[in-house]
Each structure stands twice: as C-alpha cells, then as structure tokens.
A = this chain, B = another copy of it.
Amino acid sequence: MTNPTAAMLVIGDEILSGRTRDANMHYLAGQLTERGITLCEVRIVSDHRDAIIAAVRALSQAYDHVFTSGGIGPTHDDITADCIAAAFDDHIDVRADARALLAEFYAQTGRELNEARLRMARIPDRATLIDNPVSVAPGFTLENVHVMAGVPSVFQAMVASVLPTLTGGKPLISDTVRLMRGEGDVAQPLGEIAAKFPSVQIGSYPFQQDGRFGTNIVLRTTDADALAQATALVAALQGD
C-alpha cells in the first residue's frame, strides 16, 4: 500500500524575482504530510501562459493530485484559470455560480462588482468550485488539479476546503458563520464549542471590513446533527 502522491505548482513572478518569499509551500507540505499524502515535487513558474500550461500537464499526469497557488486575482496578469482550462481543453468564461457568490458578497459590503473583479468568476465549465470563506472569490478543482489563491490566508482556507474531500471517507458537510467580532474575542467560546463537538472541525478566518474586525467560522464534519448544533452555538456568539 502506498500513499497518494501530490505535486504543487506555485505561480508568480514576485517569488522568482526574490521580492516575496513563498509561504504556501511550507504550509501545504505540512498539511499533506499529516494527512498521509506524499508531496513529491514542487515547481515555481512565472506568469507565462506556456510555462503554466506545460507544468500543469506534466504534474497532472505524474501525480495523483496537483495543488496550484497564485494568479487567480482581479488584475490583467492573473491568468491561471485560463491556463488550467487550456491545459485540459475545457471552455472557460464567467460562470453563473461564481458570479452569484461575488455579486452577493460585493452587494453586502457596498462595493462595486466591476469588470476587474468579475475576472475572479472565470471558471472552466467542468470544474467544481472550492469554497473561499475569507474573500469569497472561489478556487476550483478540474480533474486532479486544485486551483487556489496565492494570498496565504486564502490559500490556507482553500486547502482546508479541499483536503477533506480527498480522503474518500464519508462525505463532509460544512457551514460558515460570519461574525462581526474579532477573532480574539470569540476564540475562547469557540474553543469550548470545539471541545463539546470533537467530530466537528472548526476553523476561524479573520477579516477586516470598513475598519471593523470580523471572523468567518467554518464548521466541517460528516455528522449532520452535530453540525446543526455546533453551528447554532457559533451563530449565537454574534450576540447583537
């Protein structure tokens, strides 16, 4: 019996120029190791279409899973999604489900869903969305490639969304609660809830909005009853 194999593809000129130090590789390596998935190779390439497509194809063929980070934001040089579609001969455009997520998020926060931000809803037809509890713009899985953001807090949240789907155990269900309270304020009661429901994995992802601190709480489990009870307790932390 051998463990499943994986590779990581980091996309970004800023790392190759030495300006930024990659943080995601070390994080993913640790997560995969804990989970019994063997990280066999990492590649870092620049924001060039041919380089990205070639690397995705090579790694997808060689390993059970490929995790990418970077290049799915709103600017003109965010080309990862289009390259993944090209690597698998899939069609890509702004997709209704991803657009709806973004529209709701920007409506809630009073900002404009402009053309640049709509780029983040470009998803290949055959892909499955990856939940982003931090900033909503989704990642996606196409074939055995999991496409995630480069911003470390978002990357980590997406890894937390994806990894449980790779075990092949009972299907995992989840809820997200958006609290307008700082992470430090809810940490203790959250810990008590987590202790009371050991079958529920509870992650917290802090954010800032209009100068106020908030925390998205993501609950994941295979037990629907436990999820409902734990989610109700977390939602009650809002107080209001």
User: Which A positions have Cβ atoms within 8 angstroms of B?
Assistant: 14-22, 25-33, 39-46, 51, 75, 187, 203, 205, 211, 218, 220
Q: Which residues of B contact A32 (CB under 8 A)?
A: 18
Question: Can you name 24 A-B pairs with beta carbons within 8 Å?
Answer: A16-B29, A16-B39, A17-B29, A17-B33, A17-B203, A17-B220, A18-B28, A18-B29, A18-B30, A18-B31, A18-B33, A19-B218, A21-B26, A22-B25, A25-B44, A40-B45, A40-B46, A41-B44, A41-B46, A42-B42, A42-B43, A42-B44, A75-B187, A211-B211
Q: Which residues of B contact A42 (CB under 8 A)?
A: 15-16, 42-44
Task: Please state the number of chain copies in the assembly.
Answer: 2
Q: Which residues of B contact A205 (CB under 8 A)?
A: 14, 19-20
A134 to chain B minimum Cβ distance, whole angstroms, is: 16
For A45, the closest partner residue in chain B by CB is B41
For A42, the closest partner residue in chain B by CB is B44
The answer to whether B46 touches A29, judged by C-beta atoms less than 8 angstroms apart, is: no
The answer to whether B51 touches A40, judged by C-beta atoms less than 8 angstroms apart, is: yes
For A13, the closest partner residue in chain B by CB is B203
Q: Which residues of B contact A46 (CB under 8 A)?
A: 40-41
For A184, the closest partner residue in chain B by CB is B116
Q: Which residues of B contact A44 (CB under 8 A)?
A: 25, 41-43
Q: Which residues of B contact A22 (CB under 8 A)?
A: 25
The answer to whether A15 touches B40, judged by C-beta atoms less than 8 angstroms apart, is: no
Q: Which residues of B contact A21 (CB under 8 A)?
A: 26
Q: Which residues of B contact A211 (CB under 8 A)?
A: 211
For A28, the closest partner residue in chain B by CB is B18
- Counting chain B CB atoms within 10 Å of each CB, which of A40, A44, A45 scores highest? A44
The answer to whether B51 touches A19, judged by C-beta atoms less than 8 angstroms apart, is: no
